[in-house]
Amino acid sequence: GPLNQEVKIWVSGYEEGWLLPSDSESWICVQTLDIRSSSETNPEDAFFNQVVALPRAGLVLLANAKKNTIYAVHIEYGPNPTATRMDYISEFIVTMPILSLIGTSDSLPDGDHLVQIYCVQTQAIQQ
């Protein structure tokens, strides 16, 4: 979405959202997350988000360079694509604007995930 302040989950228009071999594909939006600021009326003053998806960890990361914030959106995978949902969002404050970011995730033997985020900031590179 505009300024990357909107995140949507799209699935195939076929039964239960599964992709099937076809010449034409229709898509259905099953959920939208629209991030808004309560302190700024103009979205351009509140948001400039960098976006990274970490599908194995079930996360979408949004780094807001205007507000020194990283949002972690958790994806709860359902038994089929139409049952998959964004179920919560967490906000993390950083000390300086993030110019770009990348993330990695590794599966641990106990089933948890180790997520590492690397950020290029105006005065530092952070892990």
74 is in which domain, residue-wise?
6-124
Q: Checking DSSP bridges between strand 98-107 and strand 85-93, what pairing results, if any?
A: unpaired
Residue 85 has pLDDT above 90, yes or no: yes
Number of domains, the chain: 1
118/127 Cα distance (integer angstroms): 5
Q: pLDDT, tens digit, for every residue of 8-49? A: 999 988 878 888 777 777 899 999 998 887 777 776 776 777
Q: Do 30 and 82 form a contact (C-beta atoms < 8 A)?
A: yes
Q: Is 62 among the domain residues?
A: yes
Quick one: pLDDT at residue 58?
A: 92
Quick one: pLDDT at residue 34?
A: 87
Look up residue 12 and give its two tokens: 């195939």
Question: How many beta carbons lie within 10 A of that of residue 22, not counting itself?
Answer: 10
Q: Degrees (nearest 5) of the Cα angle 115, 99, 90? A: 45
Q: Is 17 among the domain residues?
A: yes
Quick one: pLDDT at residue 43?
A: 66
Which tops the pLDDT comparison, 6 or 40? 6
Average pLDDT taken over every residue of the chain: 85
Q: Is 1 among the domain residues?
A: no
